[in-house]
Every structure is written in C-alpha cells, then in structure tokens.
Amino acid sequence: MTDLSSRYATRGRPRWFWPTIAAIGIALGVAFAAWVGFQKDPVTGRLWGYDVVDANQVTVTLDIVRPDPLDVQCTVYAQAADHSIVGEKTVDVPASRREKIRITVDIETQRKAVTGVLRTCAPKD
C-alpha cells in the first residue's frame, strides 16, 4: 500500500491560512455592523401620548424629528383589549424647516379601543 500524499502531489495550506481568513471575516463583519449602527435616521417618530375619546375614536399625539425638511408618512393604529387592531390611519406630514414637530391624529375605531400605537414614521416616497 502506498500513501496517497506521496502518490499524488497534494498542496497543503499553511497553518495560518484559515485563522487569517476568519480574522478578516470577523473584521469585515464588525466594520459593517459599526457602519450600520452609526447611520443617522432620516426620520424618528415617537408616540407622545394617546387619548381614548369614546367607543369610536382614539386621538394619538406624535413627536416627529427630521433633520432635513422631508415629507414624512406616519401610520398609527388603535388596539382593543384583546390586542386586535380596531382602527388604523396613515397621515402625511409635509416638509417644513422645523426639525421637531408634534402632530395629533384622530383614529376612527370599529369598537372600543384601549390604546393608540405608532407603527412607522418614514420619509414619503
């Protein structure tokens, strides 16, 4: 019996090859995560408060921060005690020079809601 490595010339990789490839991959992953983490959000929306007016209406107040004068589209919804969505509304906020604004949105509901929720605030396409 003959040894296969003596019969067929195999090229072995140096011992440092795979650790170097792993280190490069980890460094690229960390660099990408840092780049994504430090990106500035074009729009930030926060739920400032809500008021259950009656069985058919919820009023939601939002704080919107946008460093650039962008048109913004925000979606809010009202939720019942059983966590079902009983009303939803998308509102367009026109661009302005003010960086921080507060808006109020009235949501009509199918039945009594217990809370108002901000789904998204994003630049309008």
Q: For residue range 17-73, what is the model confidence (pLDDT) as tens digits?
A: 999 999 999 999 999 999 888 887 788 899 999 999 999 999 999 999 988 888 899
Q: In which band, very low, low, confident or very high, does the pLDDT at 9 lie, cut at 50, 70 and 90?
A: low
Whole-angstrom distance, CA of residue 117 vs CA of residue 91: 14
Share of the chain above pLDDT 70, in %: 95
Nearest C-alpha neighbor of 57 from the set 119, 105, 121, 120 = 105
Structure confidence at residue 38 (pLDDT):
83
Residue 112: pLDDT over 70: yes
